[in-house]
Structure formats: structure tokens, C-alpha cells
Amino acid sequence: MLKIRMSSPRLQAHMPRPGSRVAIIGGGYTGAIIAKLLVERGVRDIEEVTVFEPREQLGCGLAYDVRNIDVRLNVAAHRMRAIPGSPSAFLNWLQTSGTLTVDPDAVTREGIFARRRDFGRFMQAQLAPHLDSGAVRHIRNIVRAVERENEQWRICGAEGTIVMADILILATGHPPASRPPAVDRLSASATSRIKDVLAADGFNEIGKCDPVLVVGSGLTAIDALCRLKALGHTGTVSLLSRTGLMPRPHAGGGFSPFGDFSSTDLTSAKKLLSKVRATISDAQAQGIPWQSVFDALRQHAPSLWQALPMRERQKFLRRLRRWYDVHRYRMPPQGAAVLELGIDTGRVRLETGDLVSITEDKQGLIAGLKSRAGRTEFRCRHILLATGPDFQDYAAHQRFLLGMQRDGFIRSDPLGLGLACDIAGRAITAAGTPNSTLFIAGPPARPAFGELTGVPEIAAQAASLVDRIIGCCARETRTIVISPTV
């Protein structure tokens, strides 16, 4: 056996260094920010960065690959902190690119709430130099299979592209929303009137006066209201939710996060709730809005989540999640205005209950609702599903993930939050050990972080994940082992 030290510049130039080729599956915001940071921070240590993403552009994904201009970010621009190390990058871009000139409505008393489409454009601009230089390779394929071969990852795209990588990052983002079971028993014409709010064709068939039932009452439902209004829809819209809770509005006034959640004894859902309530009282006594308390809570979310035993995590998800979500994921002011006007004019109604059946007759769809008050029927022409991504059994959503799960490389998290991983983002194998060449990034890594949906949280995870990968690559010995053929 012959050992060669990689001291020769010629050899270094032509042979990939061990551990330095990174492949990312998914090029939404998460995959794109990781690719950008890898090439910018790992100039000497990363040989190749390949992103598999079927969409035309990197950096957009489900949330920002939108053509219409009616849906807005639910976070003010100065809080988006999309680029680690450059927290004002998005705000600066909005101001210098002329975007605010064509979209003056973005500026509100509560801050600048830009169009989601424009955040996608911002991310494209971030990636463009790296795509042009070839530092990031974008393969417009959906990944169909991932295998392990000679201690490398073999990634197979749908159109036959095969890429070998030393490190693999799963940034596959949001799975589709679950469909109500009743849908499967309907005729094709009825099914065509039940659409996901986030689907490209979701609103195509809705007539101006058609009554619409929106299943879900979170931010996606607010998006649906904004979209319907922009399309000139004048019919009634009913928002259905199990709890009757709606996202809360933002506060004006530019308050800073308020409250200290770093205490180590917040080890149960009940203690956490008491602490939040007490902190809100303190805040209000000082004239500080409750929103500031949730902003502080959000900053400590990963350590709070990690301090909760499994039983308490389950309790939190069962009893407090919806309450937490409506305070944490707040409506953009423009969306709040559309909702308020709709309710005031009687066009928008809030319904509480479970959708238990859907039937059809000549006039349209009949939704069967079940609530504490009993069963009711509700007539509509269209149903829009705004229940949000269904993270239950995450691996089951894609064939290649199921294959990786079968091979023991990954496993769905039992709480239904994504894929099992540790705080470093390393995938936990079937044997329960972390794999240092396989990472989970963005929303499916929530089992380790609790809160990993918003751009600022994903940016922070991306930065630490990239630093870890670069650290490992830099430490790799540059020794190549060649088996002599003679």
C-alpha cells in the first residue's frame, strides 16, 4: 500500500480532498443559506457544494417561491436576520434595491412587512455570484434514492444524475399538508374543489361569489384571505379551527425582547407556562407589550426545549402548542387588516370544530363539522386546506427518505416533529448513534431544537452546522491511500 501526503499543489488541485464534497438535498431557504455559508466560510476546506432542488431558483422553497404579490412575510424585515453575520442584509437590500418604492404598502407602524416573493428575490441575489462562479452547483432534479457506497453518499436524481459526496445534508423542508380522509371518497369533480392554499392552482376555480371554507385558522389561512381579497372575491369565507384561536397581531413601537428564560428549573410545561404568564404581567406593568415576552422566549426556545423531559415535551405539544403558536407566529399588519375588515363586514366568519365529513350534492360541498355544541353541516363551493405541513412520520413523505430509514440512516421522530437528530444537526441512526456525515437542517430538525421554523432560527442553525462541517473538513488528514495495481 502506498501513502501519499497531499503536499503537492498539483495533487491538491486535481484530487478532491477527503471529506470535502458536500451535497444538499433541498434548495429552499435552508439549503441555500447553507450552500452560501459553505462556500464563503469554507473557501480552503470545501471542494464541492452541490444542491439538488427541482425548483428553478435556489433560496425560495415553499414559502418564497410565490408569484403573487398578496402574501407577505409575517416577520418585520429588521427581524428576518437571514444572513448570519449580517443581520440587516435583508432590510438594506429592500432599501437599496428599490423594492420599497414599488411596494410602499410594506411600510407599517409595526415595521416593514415585505412581500414573500421579494424575500425570495433577495435570496436569489445572495446565491447568484456563487452559482455564476460555479462554487455552488444547482442540479434541478428531485432526489429519488440515497445509498452508502465506499464510505461516501451516492445521491441519485430523478433524471439519472448521480453525485458522490462525503457529507450529506437533508434540507427537504416542509412536507405537504394532510388531506381530510373524507376527500378520498369523493368524485373527481368534488375533489378538484378541495385545494391546498399553498398549491400553485389553489384558487384557480374559485368564482367571485363562491362561499369558501378554509380549514385551519393560522397564518396560512390569513394568506388565503389576502389572496381571495386580491382576486376580488366577495363571497363568504369561513375559517374553521379546532380551538377557535387565531394568530395575534404584532405590536408597534420597536420594543426589545423582555424576560429572562435562562433559568434551569423550567423543566415542565406547567412551570414554563407560569413563568411566561408572570413575565407578561411584569412586562405589562412596565408598559411593555406581551409580544416582547414571546420574542425573548423564542430566543431561549432551544435550551428550554432541551431541558424538558420527553413526557413534558408531549404535554407541551398536546396542551400548549396551539396557544404558543398563535402568539409566536403573528399576523403581518396587512393581513390583520384584511381579517378585521372581513369580520366587521360579516364576510369572514370563524367556526370552531373538527371537519369530520365532506359530501357533495348539485349545489356544491357539504362539510360535516363536529364541535362541543354537537354536529352541524356547512355548505360551500370550495374548501381550502390551510392546516399547514404534516410533519407526522416525516420519512414517509418521500421514497428516498423511506429508503434511508429502512437502511437505518435516519428515523422519524416519535413526537411527529421531523427527523431524529442531535443539537449539532447530526442524524440519529436506527442504532441511536449520531452520524457525523449526515445532517438534518431546517424545520425537520425540530426534534432537537423545538423551535426551528422561522428564518432567524434556521440561519443560526445553518451557521453552526456549517462551522462544524468546515471544522471537520479542516481536521481531515490530507493523506490519500492508493492500492498499488502492480
Ligand X SMILES: Cc1cc2nc3c(=O)[nH]c(=O)nc-3n(C[C@H](O)[C@H](O)[C@H](O)COP(=O)(O)OP(=O)(O)OC[C@H]3O[C@@H](n4cnc5c(N)ncnc54)[C@H](O)[C@@H]3O)c2cc1C
Q: Cβ 308 to ligand X, closest distance in Å?
A: 22
- Cell reading at 469: 462541517
Closest CA to 60 of 71, 46, 49: 71
Instruction: State which of residues 54, 87, 244, 368 lies at the interface with ligand X (CB under 6 A).
Output: 54
73 counts as binding ligand X under rule CB under 6 A: yes
Nearer to ligand X, 307 or 458 (CB): 458
Task: In whole angstroms, give the CA distance from residue 415 to residue 173.
Answer: 17
- Cell reading at 207: 368564482
Nearer to ligand X, 214 or 369 (CB): 214
Nearer to ligand X, 275 or 327 (CB): 327
Nearer to ligand X, 398 or 436 (CB): 398
68 counts as binding ligand X under rule CB under 6 A: no
Size of the site for ligand X (CB under 6 A): 33
Cα angle value 35/76/246 (rounded, 5°): 110
Cβ atoms of residues 290 and 280 within 8 Å = yes
53 counts as binding ligand X under rule CB under 6 A: yes
**Exposure string over 411-446, b if 16+ CB within 10 A, otherwise e:** bbbebebbbbbbeebbbbbeeeebbebbbbbbbbbb
Instruction: State which of residues 18, 22, 48, 52 lies at the interface with ligand X (CB under 6 A).
Output: 52
Cα angle value 437/441/446 (rounded, 5°): 120
Instruction: State which of residues 18, 28, 259, 425 lies at the interface with ligand X (CB under 6 A).
Output: 28
- Using the contact rule CB under 6 A, the part of the chain among 13-21, 48-56, 255-263, 297-305 near ligand X is 48-56
Instruction: State which of residues 23, 34, 38, 75 lies at the interface with ligand X (CB under 6 A).
Output: 75
Nearer to ligand X, 174 or 233 (CB): 174
- Using the contact rule CB under 6 A, the part of the chain among 146-154, 171-179, 182-190, 362-370 near ligand X is 171-179
Nearer to ligand X, 23 or 237 (CB): 23
Task: In whole angstroms, give the CA distance from residue 438 to residue 400.
Answer: 14
Q: Cβ 66 to ligand X, closest distance in Å?
A: 8
49 counts as binding ligand X under rule CB under 6 A: no
* Segment 479-484 long-range contacts (CB within 8 Å, at least 24 positions apart): 479/3, 479/4, 479/5, 479/6, 480/3, 480/4, 480/6, 480/11, 480/15, 480/18, 481/1, 481/2, 481/3, 482/1, 482/2, 482/3, 482/4, 483/1, 483/2, 484/1, 484/2
Closest CA to 394 of 238, 175, 129: 175
Q: Cβ 3 to ligand X, closest distance in Å?
A: 38
Nearer to ligand X, 31 or 249 (CB): 31
25 counts as binding ligand X under rule CB under 6 A: yes
- Using the contact rule CB under 6 A, the part of the chain among 72-80, 93-101, 181-189, 292-300 near ligand X is 72-80
Binding string to ligand X for residues 427 to 446, with x set by CB under 6 A, is what? ---------------xx---
- Using the contact rule CB under 6 A, the part of the chain among 21-29, 127-135, 249-257, 373-381 near ligand X is 21-29
- By CB under 6 A, what part of segment 173-192 binds ligand X? 173-174
Q: Cβ 102 to ligand X, closest distance in Å?
A: 19
Binding string to ligand X for residues 207 to 246, with x set by CB under 6 A, is what? -------------x--------------------------
Instruction: State which of residues 30, 217, 405, 437 lies at the interface with ligand X (CB under 6 A).
Output: 30
Closest CA to 354 of 379, 338, 372, 381: 372
Task: In whole angstroms, give the CA distance from residue 39 to residue 47.
Answer: 9
What angle do helix axes 290-307 and 269-285 make, rounded to 10 degrees?
A: 160
Binding string to ligand X for residues 387 to 406, with x set by CB under 6 A, is what? -----------x-x------
31 counts as binding ligand X under rule CB under 6 A: yes
- Using the contact rule CB under 6 A, the part of the chain among 8-16, 104-112, 368-376, 453-461 near ligand X is 453-461
Instruction: State which of residues 434, 453, 467, 468 lies at the interface with ligand X (CB under 6 A).
Output: 453
Residue with cell 375588515: 341
Binding string to ligand X for residues 135 to 154, with x set by CB under 6 A, is what? -------xx-----------
Cα–Cα distances in angstroms (integers) from residue 286 to residues 90, 240, 292, in the given order: 32, 36, 12
Q: Cβ 311 to ligand X, closest distance in Å?
A: 27
55 counts as binding ligand X under rule CB under 6 A: yes
13: left (phi over 0), alpha (psi -120 to 50) or beta: alpha
Closest CA to 433 of 412, 449, 409, 416: 409
- Cell reading at 428: 440519529
- By CB under 6 A, what part of segment 303-342 binds ligand X? none
Instruction: State which of residues 35, 39, 167, 171 lies at the interface with ligand X (CB under 6 A).
Output: 171
62 counts as binding ligand X under rule CB under 6 A: yes
Binding stretches for ligand X (CB under 6 A): 25-31, 52-55, 61-63, 73-75, 142-143, 171-174, 198, 220, 398, 400, 442-443, 453-455, 458
